[in-house]
């Protein structure tokens, strides 16, 4: 936090000038920026919510998978010059396979033990981070924006890449919804979540179902990491900055609802954008965290929870 | 059987005691070597920045040893990783003092780790050479500071920007002691000059999404030019530069930052072009000493790494050389009191130019420089103070 005296002086000065100038253009800009950030947050949280919602596994390695995805983007797109779309697909596939490996060797031994999965995935996250440090070295790596045009709509601007991120985000969401709700595998996933023993009795290999679910979550994380790589530089510490927001998002949205995640992404990012526009970014984070705490107090299961018996 | 176990235990104890006493006899190395400790974050949040520091320290030690060592004695060194954590720094510094019996320590980067380690230095009376530019403090009796302090940096930066870029300043910083102090100093200076602070904002260090702040900058600054005085750390900093350039605002407003250095600029490429930096050393300085330093660095660690050598790397190189000169003056009488006393007035023809230790406060006299990042990632010096500036760490 800023020093109280320093802060007070600042507040006084803004009061004298009649506050930070606010106008329609700025509000419009903040809402548009907030919406873009919401899609980015949705994309980066999808994998987490799937693994948490369908498997009851708190995957602390999620943000490190984002980091790994970003490195894949750097090596595939910036170094090997593979087209961006193919890079994204490859990032998903590699992360999916990595997820399979992790699930088969580690996670599968810990189902039903929340605390143990926490520890196990935390250990995996540390290993991933240190491996990245050893393998990829200590330097900032940059991925150029695949498209760099800036679109102006009246006084409001949008970077074209942000629009592409929104599109990737929507595609990932729709793809996942179709996968879960319209395919046979998706039906198996849902039935395993509802009643594992019964599903087993019906001759469905729930172990295979678990592997696919976990791997899909990790795959989405890798895809998201690759997609956000151009927004910043790629380093082994990239995961850290996403930890708070992605977990807060999942908690607020409710772990068993993808629509909850969509809604909470918007609530969180639009409020942060608008509040930091009016006051400052630290105030924005504080207020949003407070609101999340209050909502969780009233609705401990998150904003959207499936109706019916639990 | 029981007897045998007991005998082994006794033997082991005796061996350990002998070893321990043997260790005591060799403070600061053996008769033909001097032992110093290096402590850097080889892992942790600031590992990227500290890589060139660690490499430079090793380079300087190798060079000194190749040239015959200190009064014929080789420098031996132990390396410890403090992982950007003050508590770990305390632990490993204690280890180096008590187990490795080092004569002096070179290293540390974060202010928090330096402050945490100072009581240990006082307790065991071991000198630390601290090679980083920092916000200034009441000099500690056991610390030599080989980086520049704000009166050798910001006092020139803000007026230069005011004269050459714009009278409007938007202050932005990571929510740390360092950035807060730097931005508060800048605000006072801007007022003195008659400039205008149009915004002042701190963000937490994990923020990598800047679209709201960029929108605010655009709205507050409008069509007037503006200096974005952005002292943002690590990943947060690179994210800001990238997104600012992507939003197409780099033509309208100019970013200026203390955090900007060659490790950033070479990675960011065009996103950092035409932004300002200020420190006492830039990689591009055209001097024989600097060329020699960088080519030796390049030969040892690779050309790409040499291009990313920063001011803290150079300050570490200077730190080891100054320490070796001080040890040389000690002759055979290497004590902490002698080492500290010998630093006063020591000069070294560093890559940045000649630097001298100020005996009054253990800081160095150095020049202030302002640089402009070029499209190829190098930082070109656009301003250099005529003479070296006296350090005023408590100003």
- Cα→Cα distances A294→A251, A276, A279, A302, Å: 12, 20, 21, 11
* Residue with the larger pLDDT of the pair B224 and A287: A287
Q: Would the ipTM clear 0.95, i.e. be above it? A: no
Q: Does A281 sit within 8 Å of B238, measured CB to CB?
A: no
With an 8 Å Cβ cutoff, is A131 touching chain B?
A: no
Task: State chain B's maximal CA–CA distance in angstroms.
Answer: 90
Q: How far is A236 from chain B (nearest CA, A)?
A: 9
Q: Helix H segments across B302-366?
A: 303-307, 311-330, 336-343
Residue in B with minimal Cα distance to A31: B212
User: Over 60: is that where the pLDDT of A208 sits?
Assistant: yes
DSSP B81-112: E-TT-HHHHHHHHHHHHHTS--SEEEE--SHH
With an 8 Å Cβ cutoff, is B234 touching chain A?
A: yes
A59, A85, A69: which is closest to A221 by C-alpha?
A69
Chain B residues in contact with A225 by the CB 8 A cut-off are: none
Q: How far is B251 from chain A (nearest CA, A)?
A: 13
Asked whether B124 and B300 are in contact (CB, 8 A), the reply is no
User: Taking residues B308-322, what's their average pLDDT?
Assistant: 95
Q: How far is A63 from chain B (nearest CA, A)?
A: 13
DSSP A162-216: HHHHHHHHHHHHHHHHHHHHHSHHHHHHHHHHH-HHHHHHTT--HHHHHHHHHHH
In the sheet with B276-279, reading across from the earlier edge strand, the strands are B196-203, B168-174, B227-231, B254-257, B276-279, B369-373, B379-384
> Which residue of B54, B203, B219 to mutate against A (max A Cβ within 10 Å)?
B219
User: Over 70: is that where the pLDDT of A12 sits?
Assistant: no
Of the candidates A3, A34, A242, which has its C-beta nearest B212's C-beta?
A: A34
Asked whether B147 and B118 are in contact (CB, 8 A), the reply is no
> Phi/psi of residue A234, each to 5°?
-95, 120
User: Taking residues B113-117, what's their average pLDDT?
Assistant: 93
Name the band, by pLDDT with cuts 50, 70 and 90, for residue A310: very low
* Residue with the larger pLDDT of the pair A281 and B210: B210
With an 8 Å Cβ cutoff, is A181 touching chain B?
A: no
Q: Does A280 sit within 8 Å of B239, measured CB to CB?
A: no
Q: Does B47 sit within 8 Å of A133, measured CB to CB?
A: yes
Name the band, by pLDDT with cuts 50, 70 and 90, for residue B281: very high
Beta bridge partners of A145: none
B246, B175, B183, B180: which is closest to B210 by C-alpha?
B246
Residue A108 is encoded by which pair of tokens? Answer: 């599968």
Of the candidates A233, A241, A284, which has its C-beta nearest B206's C-beta?
A: A241
Name the band, by pLDDT with cuts 50, 70 and 90, for residue B22: very low
Q: Which of residues 263-302 of B touch A (CB under 8 A)?
A: 263-264, 267-269, 271
Q: Which fold has domain B154-257?
A: Rossmann fold (3.40.50)
Q: Does A6 sit within 8 Å of B180, measured CB to CB?
A: yes
> Phi/psi of residue B73, each to 5°?
-95, 135
pLDDT digits (tens, 9 = 90+) for A88-137: 999 999 999 999 999 999 998 988 888 889 999 999 999 999 899 889 98
Q: How far is A257 from chain B (nearest CA, A)?
A: 25
With an 8 Å Cβ cutoff, is B131 touching chain A?
A: no
How many CB pairs lie under 8 A apart between chains A and B? Answer: 137
Asked whether A210 and A111 are in contact (CB, 8 A), the reply is yes
Q: How far is B219 from chain A (nearest CA, A)?
A: 6
Average pLDDT along chain A: 87
- Cα→Cα distances B177→A275, A304, B182, B202, Å: 24, 41, 9, 11
Q: How far is A64 from chain B (nearest CA, A)?
A: 14
Whether B33-149+286-366 and B154-257 share one fold: the answer is yes
Chain A residues in contact with B246 by the CB 8 A cut-off are: 145, 148, 150, 159, 161
User: Over 80: is that where the pLDDT of A3 sits?
Assistant: no
State pTM to two decimals. Answer: 0.81
In this prediction, residue A2 carries a pLDDT of: 40
Q: What is the C-alpha separation between A50 and B164, in angstroms, rounded?
A: 53
User: Taking residues B186-207, what's their average pLDDT?
Assistant: 89
Which helix H or strand E contains B39, and what residues bound it?
strand B33-40
Question: For chain B, which residues make up each domain, given as ranges?
Answer: 33-149+286-366, 154-257
Chain A residues in contact with B45 by the CB 8 A cut-off are: 237, 240
Q: Which CATH number does B33-149+286-366 carry?
A: 3.40.50.2300
Question: Between β-strands B369-373 and B276-279, what pairing exists: parallel, antiparallel or unpaired?
Answer: antiparallel
3-state helix, strand, coil in chain B (%, to 5): 45, 20, 35
Q: What is the C-alpha separation between A265 and A245, in angstroms, rounded?
A: 9
The distance from CA B386 to its chain's CA centroid, rounded to whole angstroms, is: 23
Q: How far is A165 from chain B (nearest CA, A)?
A: 13
């Amino acid at each position: 936090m800023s020093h109280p005296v320093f802060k007070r002086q600042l507040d006084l000065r803004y009061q004298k000038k009649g506050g930070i100038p606010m106008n329609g253009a700025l509000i419009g800009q903040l809402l548009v920026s907030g919406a873009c950030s919401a899609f980015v947050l949705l994309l980066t949280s999808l994998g987490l919510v799937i693994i948490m919602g369908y498997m009851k596994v708190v995957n602390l390695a999620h943000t490190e998978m984002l980091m790994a995805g970003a490195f894949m983007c750097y090596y595939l797109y910036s170094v090997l010059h593979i087209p961006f779309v193919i890079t994204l697909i490859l990032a998903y596939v590699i992360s999916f396979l990595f997820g399979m490996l992790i699930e088969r060797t580690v996670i599968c031994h810990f189902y039903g033990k929340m605390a143990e999965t926490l520890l196990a995935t935390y250990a995996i996250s540390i290993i991933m981070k240190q491996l990245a440090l050893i393998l990829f070295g200590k330097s900032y790596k940059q991925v150029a924006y695949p498209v760099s045009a800036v679109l102006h709509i009246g006084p409001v601007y949008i970077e074209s890449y942000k629009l592409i991120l929104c599109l990737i985000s929507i595609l990932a969401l729709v793809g996942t919804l179709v996968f879960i709700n319209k395919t046979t595998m998706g039906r198996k996933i849902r039935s395993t979540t509802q009643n594992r023993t019964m599903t087993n009795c019906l001759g469905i290999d729930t172990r295979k179902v678990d592997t696919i679910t976990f791997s899909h979550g990790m795959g989405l994380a890798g895809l998201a990491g690759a997609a956000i790589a151009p927004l910043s530089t790629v380093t082994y510490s990239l995961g850290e900055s996403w930890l708070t927001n992605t977990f807060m998002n999942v908690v607020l949205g409710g772990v068993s609802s993808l629509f909850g995640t969509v809604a909470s992404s918007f609530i969180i990012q639009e409020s942060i954008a608008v509040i930091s526009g009016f006051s400052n970014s630290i105030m924005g984070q504080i207020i949003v965290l407070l609101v999340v705490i209050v909502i969780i107090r009233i609705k401990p299961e998150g904003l959207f929870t499936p109706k019916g018996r639990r | 059987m029981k007897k045998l176990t007991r005998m082994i235990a006794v033997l082991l104890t005796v061996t350990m005691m002998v070893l321990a006493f043997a260790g005591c006899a060799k403070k600061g190395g053996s008769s033909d070597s001097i032992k110093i400790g290096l402590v850097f974050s080889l892992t942790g949040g600031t590992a990227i920045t500290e890589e060139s520091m660690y490499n430079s320290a090793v380079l300087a030690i190798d060079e000194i040893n190749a040239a015959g060592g200190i009064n014929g004695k080789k420098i031996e060194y132990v390396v410890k990783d403090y992982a950007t954590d003050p508590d770990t720094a305390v632990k490993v510094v204690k280890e180096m003092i008590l187990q490795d019996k080092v004569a002096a320590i070179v290293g540390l980067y974060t202010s928090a780790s330096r402050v945490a380690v100072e009581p240990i230095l006082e307790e065991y009376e071991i000198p630390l050479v601290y090679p980083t530019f920092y916000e200034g403090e009441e000099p500690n009796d056991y610390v030599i500071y080989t980086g520049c302090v704000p009166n050798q940096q910001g006092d020139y930066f803000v007026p230069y920007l005011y004269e050459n870029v714009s009278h409007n300043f938007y202050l932005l910083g990571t929510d740390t002691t360092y950035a807060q102090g730097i931005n508060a100093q800048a605000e006072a200076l801007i007022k003195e000059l008659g400039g205008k602070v149009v915004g002042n904002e701190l963000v937490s260090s994990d923020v990598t999404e800047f679209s709201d702040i960029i929108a605010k900058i655009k709205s507050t600054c409008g069509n007037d030019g503006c200096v974005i005085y952005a002292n943002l750390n690590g990943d947060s900093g690179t994210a800001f530069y990238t997104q600012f350039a992507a939003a197409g605002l780099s033509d309208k407003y100019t970013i200026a930052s203390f955090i900007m250095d060659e490790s950033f600029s070479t990675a960011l490429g065009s996103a950092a072009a035409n932004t300002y930096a200020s420190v006492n050393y830039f990689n591009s300085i055209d001097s024989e000493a600097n060329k020699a330093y960088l080519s030796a660095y390049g030969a040892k660690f690779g050309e790409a790494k040499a291009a990313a050598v920063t001011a803290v790397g150079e300050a570490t190189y200077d730190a080891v050389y100054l320490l070796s000169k001080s040890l040389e003056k000690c002759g055979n009488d290497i004590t902490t009191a002698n080492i500290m006393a010998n630093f006063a007035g020591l000069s070294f023809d560093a890559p940045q130019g000649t630097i001298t230790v100020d005996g009054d406060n253990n800081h160095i006299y150095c020049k202030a420089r302002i640089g402009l990042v070029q499209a190829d990632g190098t930082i070109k010096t656009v301003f250099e103070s005529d003479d070296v500036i006296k350090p005023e760490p408590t100003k």
